[in-house]
Each structure stands twice: as structure tokens, then as C-alpha cells.
């Protein structure tokens, strides 16, 4: 399935891990979906509901704010921080080292976590149709890198990893609103993630 949007030049083009972009942003509080019925439930596939946290600071979880994917302080009652791990294609689609592919679908929006169009760009959200094959929303995990943390990478290009942008120790770690991007492996904790069941 082809990407449906045209992408403008990103603020992350030619970026370095020393800029102050994330420090200067103001991020809104999450919208309360708890009283809004199914909030796209018909698009939500079957699968375990997961929290996605980063080893750089596990007090934060991957969430959705104003249509963007970012790290926010964990709130177990916030459905924008809950992701369904859809493993429908796991037996048929594997990455180049044989690890099974899966999709992450946001419980609040019904949208899937989608690959960024290039390295150093923000990951995206995409409308999701359960059972429909779309490489751009398929991810895989590495082996366990310790304490249950793994890299999450594009299933069709394991060289690009999910990365909490500028959240390595040198740049001050995770902040509210830290953006999620794709980045080559740099052996830092801001590229290690744990998928934990939400109860």
C-alpha cells in the first residue's frame, strides 16, 4: 500500500542529536476519550493491549497527542497510551533475521503506528484495516537486550529503529512530549523499548 500523503521537508532533515527542538515545544494535555463510546473500536483488531515504554525513562509511555506520536507521562487510564499488538501476520511476515512482524494500533484512535518516510523523521499514524496487508505499519522486535527491553524496528528494514528523539543521557533524557522518530542503532537506552500488558 502506497503512502497516501505528500511529505514536506521535515525539521529533522540533516538533524543532529544536539539541537533544542524538543526543549522548546509546548504540548497539550491528552483528550479524555473515556466518555466517548467506542472511539473507533470497530477498527481495533484483536490482540493484547500493551503499554510501550522506553528504557531511557520507563515513567513515560508512547502516546498520541494532537495526531502525533510522542512520549508522555504514563497514565494507565489514558487510552491514547494503550496499543493493541496485532500479530495477524506474524506467521507469514518476518524480518530479515526471522523475527515475526506485528502492528501497533492505538486504542483511542484506531490508527496504526506507521514508519516514518525516512531516517530522522517522526513516525506517523495511519488508518488501519485489520487483516489488510500494509508493510508500512509492520514492525519487529530484536532479541531481549536486558530486562525485557528490545529494539523496535521496521520489519522491512531492521537498520532503522524506533527512537525517543534526543532522549539519550547526553541530551537530558526523556521529557514530556519527546517525539518518536526512526534512527539507526546507536546503542543508547532511548532506542530500547518494552511492551508490557495493560491490566
Report pTM: 0.80
> How far apart, in whole angstroms, are the C-alpha atoms of residue 194 and residue 61?
10
Q: Does some domain include residue 53?
A: yes
Q: Does some domain include residue 32?
A: no
Segments forming the whole domain that contains residue 112: 43-197
In order, the DSSP letters of 30-94 are PP--TTSTTSSGGGPPSSEEEEEEETTEEEEEEEEETTEEEEEE--TT-GGG-EEEE-TTTTT-B
Q: Does some domain include residue 54?
A: yes
**Which pLDDT belongs to residue 18?**
40
Domain count, the chain: 1
Q: What is the per-residue pLDDT across 22-51, written as a single tens digit (0 to 9) for each?
A: 333 332 333 333 323 334 444 678 889 999
| pLDDT bucket at 123, cuts 50 / 70 / 90 | very high
Q: Does some domain include residue 107?
A: yes
The secondary element (H helix, E strand) that includes residue 160 is strand 157-164
> How far apart, in whole angstroms, are the C-alpha atoms of residue 177 and residue 23?
9
Q: Does some domain include residue 162?
A: yes
Q: Does some domain include residue 17?
A: no
**Which pLDDT belongs to residue 36?**
35
Amino acid at each position: 500500500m502506497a503512502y497516501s500523503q505528500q511529505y514536506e521537508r521535515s525539521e529533522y532533515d540533516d538533524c543532529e542529536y544536539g539541537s533544542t527542538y524538543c526543549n522548546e515545544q509546548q504540548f497539550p494535555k491528552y483528550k479524555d476519550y473515556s466518555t466517548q463510546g467506542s472511539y473507533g473500536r470497530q477498527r481495533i483488531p484483536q490482540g493484547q493491549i500493551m503499554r510501550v515504554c522506553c528504557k531511557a525513562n520507563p515513567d513515560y509511555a508512547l502516546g498520541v497527542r494532537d495526531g502525533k506520536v510522542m512520549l508522555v507521562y504514563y497514565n494507565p487510564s489514558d487510552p491514547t497510551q494503550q496499543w493493541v499488538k496485532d500479530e495477524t501476520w506474524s506467521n507469514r511476515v518476518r524480518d530479515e533475521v526471522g523475527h515475526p512482524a506485528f502492528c501497533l494500533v492505538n486504542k483511542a484512535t484506531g490508527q496504526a503506528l506507521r514508519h516514518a518516510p525516512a531516517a530522522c523523521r517522526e513516525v506517523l499514524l495511519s488508518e488501519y484495516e485489520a487483516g489488510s496487508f500494509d508493510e508500512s505499519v509492520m514492525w519487529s522486535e530484536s532479541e531481549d537486550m536486558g530486562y525485557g527491553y528490545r529494539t523496535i524496528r521496521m520489519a522491512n528494514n531492521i537498520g532503522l529503529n524506533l527512537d525517543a528523539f534526543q532522549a539519550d543521557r547526553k541530551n537530558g533524557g526523556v521529557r514530556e512530549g519527546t517525539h518518536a522518530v526512526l534512527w539507526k542503532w546507536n546503542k543508547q537506552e532511548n532506542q530500547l523499548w518494552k511492551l508490557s500488558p495493560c491490566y
